[in-house]
Amino acid sequence: MDTNKDKVILITGGAKRVGATMCRELHRQGARLMIHYNNSMSEARALQAELNLLRPNSVAIIQGDLLNLNVLPTLVSETVHQFGRLDVLINNASTYYPTDLGQINEENWQDLIGSNLKAPVFLAQAAATELRKNSGCIINITDMHIERPKKGYIVYSVAKAGLVTLTKSLAHELSPEVRVNAVAPGPVQWPESNPQFDEVYRQRVINQTLLKRVGEAEDVAKAVKFLIYDAPFITGHILAVDGGRSLNL
C-alpha cells in the first residue's frame, strides 16, 4: 500500500459546498491541491488562502469552463507544472436541475451531460498518463438515484448513470496501475435557493432514510478520503453515502 500522504490532487468544482469540505479533509491528510472552479472565484481564493495559511504553497486554484474540451488538458498540465506530479483526479463538479419530458432542449443536454459525464471522460483521458506513472486513482462523484431515477430529472439521471458506467469502464481500461471508484451521495446538502426543497420535502426524505437524518458534507469527504488512502484493493466500486435511503425508496 502506498503510504505517501503528500499526494497531489486535482478536484473539479472544489471551491464551495461539498467540494470545499473534501478539499479541507484531504488537505488535513497532507495532500497538495489544485482546486478547479468556474464562476466561484471569490470562494476559491478564500479557500486557497485558508489552506495555504495552514501549509504554505500547498494549494493552487485554476479557472475553467468544463464544457470547453480545450480547457481540460490544461487543468492537468497546470497541476503537473505547479506541483510536479498528479496522483488523484476527483470529478466533483456537477450541474443539477430538473428537465421535464416535453421541455428538454439541446442546451439542457449539453450542460447536464457536459458537466456530469463528458468532462469526466475527457479529464480522465487527459490525466491517464500521469496517473499511470504514479499509480494514482480517480474518484467520480455520482448520485444515489442512479438505479431509481428521480422523477423530472431525466437528463441529470442519464448523466450520473453514465458516470457509473464510466467508473467501471475506466477501472478496466486503467488497470492495474490506476484505481477508479465513485461515491454516490444521498441527502447531504440541499441545493441552494430551490423552492422545491421545502420543509415538507426535506422531512419526507428524512423519513425515507434508514438512519432518519440527513448526512453531512464531511460524510462524503471521508468516503473520498477512504477510497484514496485506505482502499488499495478496491476499484470499479460505487460507494453509497446515503444513510440507507437508496434501500428504502
Please report the DSSP string for 15-68 in residue order: SSHHHHHHHHHHHHTT-EEEEEESS-HHHHHHHHHHHHHHSTT-EEEEE--TT-
Identify the pLDDT of residue 55. Answer: 98
Identify the pLDDT of residue 150. Answer: 87
Alpha-helical (H) ranges within 119-216 are 119-133, 154-173, 199-208
pTM, 2 dp:
0.94
For residue 244, report the phi and psi dihedrals to the nearest 5 degrees. 85, 10
Residue pLDDT, tens place only, 8-19: 999 999 999 999
The Cα–Cα gap between 91 and 10 comes to 9
Q: At which residue does the C-alpha cell 435557493 appear?
A: 193
Catalytic residues: 156
Identify the pLDDT of residue 1. Answer: 38
Positions in the chain whose pLDDT score sits under 70: 1-5, 190-197, 249
Q: Beginning with the edge strand found earlier in the chain, give each strand of the sheet holding 179-185 in spatial order.
A: 59-63, 32-37, 8-11, 88-91, 137-141, 179-185, 238-241
Identify the pLDDT of residue 195. Answer: 61
| Residue 147 CB-half CA count within 13 A | 11
Q: How many residues does the chain have?
A: 249
Torsion of CA 185, 61, 3, 18, to 10 degrees: -20
Which one is the CATH code of 8-247: 3.90.110.10, 3.30.479.10, 3.40.50.720, 3.90.1580.10? 3.40.50.720
Identify the CA nearest to 150 among candidates 161, 165, 163. Answer: 161
132-143 burial, b at 16+ Cβ within 10 Å, e below that, comes to eebebbbbbbbb
Report CA-CA distances (Å) from 40 to 65, 76, 95, 126, 177: 11, 20, 14, 24, 34
